[in-house]
Amino acid sequence: MEDRLTPGAVAGITGGIIQVAYGSTLKALKITPIIFTDFAKILILGKPFTGPIAFIVGAVCHLLFAAIFGVVLSYVIKYTTKRFYLLKGLGIGLAAWTFANGSGTFFKMPVFSVVPPLQGLIILVGAAIFGLTSALTLKLVTDNFSRFSSDVTTTGNKKPSMRYRLALAPARKIKEVDRKIRLKRPIKLQ
């Protein structure tokens, strides 16, 4: 059984870190006053507090939500296919954007009851960056994990998977007698 929880969380946290860096840069340049960490900060604290501790609380909460959406992405890819994984990541990022904006509007959270179009677009781009980064990270992480987590040895009655068999199975059953392998019927060459 392949673990999807850990790679999904790692991919989500990686995408969340990239998204925090993107949003914090735009906020420092005074392009937008609202970023995804503000959603998380208001969700946890209830008010838009300022300061480094409030930012840390918001960033930790944001990374927790990013890990959850990363796990969702990993299970979406597991139950569908790995084809178009970047589009699936983009879809999860847009779902996160819809969830954050929708919850802000629905619960009438401070600052997010009315989001101006520019801030909404910047948050949308951040969500797309999150989704694409998470999908790419998930692909890289699961490729590495699948190489190292597969067990080639067999225990008990378990058979190794087909990808580890190096030769085709014989057409006839082989009988083992005194450490010699003999066929039940000899093969006649013509």
187 inside domain = no
| Amino acid sitting at position 103 | S
Domain count within the chain: 1
Segment 105-152, tens digit of pLDDT: 777 777 777 778 888 888 899 999 999 999 999 888 887 545 434 444
80 inside domain = yes
The sign one gets for the Cα dihedral 81, 18, 6, 40 is negative
Q: What is d(CA 121, CA 94) in angstroms, rounded to the nearest whole number?
A: 11
Q: What is d(CA 153, CA 159) in angstroms, rounded to the nearest whole number?
A: 9
DSSP class of 109: -
Give the range of the structural domain holding residue 22, as residue numbers without chain letter: 5-149
CB 111 within 8 A of CB 42: yes
123 inside domain = yes
110 inside domain = yes
| Amino acid sitting at position 189 | L
Which pLDDT score, from 0 to 100, does residue 41 have? 86
Strands (E), the chain: 174-177, 180-183
87 inside domain = yes
14 inside domain = yes
Q: What is d(CA 145, CA 86) in angstroms, rounded to the nearest whole number?
A: 19
Segment 46-70, tens digit of pLDDT: 888 888 999 899 999 999 999 999 9
Strands (E), 58-103: none
Name which of 27-41, 56-70, 95-109 the model is least confident about. Answer: 95-109
DSSP class of 190: -
Q: What is d(CA 108, CA 92) in angstroms, rounded to the nearest whole number?
A: 24
172 inside domain = no
179 inside domain = no
